[in-house]
A and B are shown apart, each in its own frame.
Chain A
Amino acid sequence: DSGVTQTPKHLITATGQRVTLRCSPRSGDLSVYWYQQSLDQGLQFLIQYYNGEERAKGNILERFSAQQFPDLHSELNLSSLELGDSALYFCASSQGQGANEQFFGPGTRLTVL
């Protein structure tokens, strides 16, 4: 158990819908990272927040957005969902701003029908 929690574990929804994935980092970690794991793209970095502020952006679609709240939990919002958005979404956390020692949550499996 990494100490990073993600809810829900599974999510099934339809195209065009909007969903919110939630992540709670390890106690004391200030950085939260979101990654997408799909069969065709592999593991891709989406976005990072540090202490409530966006720090880095990767291959994140405009239909996707994220935020980190004062209690340091983070939410990833996916809207206008397409079949290709079906993937495993991971959250990771680390103590500082750097990527050293990122600890991953169990992931949320999103299925878009």
Chain B
Amino acid sequence: GEDVEQSLFLSVREGDSSVINCTYTDSSSTYLYWYKQEPGAGLQLLTYIFSNMDMKQDQRLTVLLNKKDKHLSLRIADTQTGDSAIYFCAESIGSSYKLIFGSGTRLLVRP
């Protein structure tokens, strides 16, 4: 079945690294995504990774994919207060066009 799970909350100190984790159940995932949602705003696409890749780096963001364990992580280096938001993991499956979202991880960055 299609299911994406995330932990609900993460709190880090400003300047530290944040690691947000996600697990998914469908092994036929095509792409895996990270979206950011700030209060009262829509979802901002941060990055995505094709399912045959292990890692993708984009400035302060590093995505790691362990396909065997169906585990995806997003590492934010040098976390800033502006990074405080809800982060959603999502997958698209095969030729399906829909995104399956996790429940979101609320990241709180303490000064």
| Chain A residues engaging chain B, CB cutoff 8 angstroms | 2, 4, 31, 33, 35, 42-45, 48, 50, 55-56, 58, 90, 92, 97-107
Contacts and interface: CB of A to CB of B under 8 A. Distances in A.
A2 B42 contact: yes
A74 B68 CA distance: 39
A102 B41 contact: no
B34 interface: no
Given A42-B101, A90-B43, A103-B45, 8 more contacts: A33-B99, A98-B92, A99-B92, A100-B48, A100-B92, A101-B48, A102-B99, A104-B35
B interface secondary structure, majority: strand
Interface residues of B, number: 22
Contact of A33 (B44, B97, B102): B97
A90 B40 CA distance: 12
Contacts of A106: 41-42
A107 B102 CA distance: 18
Contacts of B97: 31, 33, 48, 50, 55-56, 97-99
